[in-house]
Amino acid sequence: MTLMSENSSKTTTPAEPTTGPSARTESTTPVELSPAPETSSGKRVLGVVPGKPAAGDRKVINRDDSVMVWPHLLIRHAVAAMATVLLVMMISVFFDAPLRDVANPQNTPNPEKAPWYFAALQELLARFPPLIAGVLVPGSIILGLVALPYIDNSKYKKPRNRKVAVTTFTAFIVIWIALTLIGFMFRGPNWGWVWPWQEWHGEL
């Protein structure tokens, strides 16, 4: 791996990997550079780490196919961000937010629904005690998603070789979407079942 910054003119070659007892030490120790750093392809060499990557093969980048982060990438990010802000501002100017009157604690709506992205949790709360639906289930989901890469640690990336991860995540997505749709579209007064084409109680 070669780290480079601006300023130019000579060429330097990464040190060849060594074999034997000293190879382990050299693979983790950067090569010391002289007080006047050499340059490679117009870039000043900051450090050279010999050896092969931990995984995969060393990638040789064609200089004609590479571009600098600035200005090429950052300018595109800035344009995309400004376009997004402009779009949101135009939507906010031409379309009013679906707000209701100020909340009245003496007059609670029936049904009282959370926003759609919390409808699955509200559906769980209607079926299980708060400790299970509000703490244990969300906590288990988060811990399970964190642990999933360690449980299914196959070196292959294609879905057919990652059956545990694909099956687990697909089941989670399907169940969560189903609970969200039920809580958002199919629940009416007193959290009873209603058909959305007969009564609509969805809350954004």
Per-residue pLDDT band at 177 (split at 50, 70, 90): very high
- Tokens describing residue 115: 């926003």
Q: Give the per-residue SS3 of 14-77.
A: CCCCCCCCCHHHHCCCCECCCCCCCEECCEEEEEECCCCCCCCCCCCCCHHHCCCHHHHHHHHH
Q: Among 12-16, 54-58, 75-79, 98-102, which stretch is predicted with the lowest mean pLDDT?
A: 12-16
Q: 117-125, long-range: CB within 8 Å, 24+ apart, which pairs?
A: 117/180, 119/179, 119/180, 119/181, 119/182, 119/183, 119/184, 120/176, 120/179, 120/180, 120/183, 122/183, 123/179, 123/180, 123/182, 123/183, 123/187, 124/179
59-75 tens-digit pLDDT: 666 666 677 777 778 88
Per-residue pLDDT band at 160 (split at 50, 70, 90): confident
**Can you tell me whether residue 3 is helix, strand or coil?**
strand
Top-confidence range, 19-33, 80-94, 107-121, 143-157: 80-94
Going from N- to C-terminal start, the domains of the chain cover 1-61, 67-98, 116-191
CATH code at 116-191: 1.10.287
> Which pTM does this prediction carry?
0.52
DSSP 186-202: SB-GGG-B--TTT----
Higher-pLDDT residue of 140 and 96 is 140
State the chain's mean pLDDT as an integer.
76
CB 179 within 8 A of CB 119: yes
The per-residue pLDDT for 85 is 97
CB 50 within 8 A of CB 31: yes
106-151 tens-digit pLDDT: 888 888 888 888 989 999 998 899 899 889 988 998 998 888 888 8
The per-residue pLDDT for 37 is 57
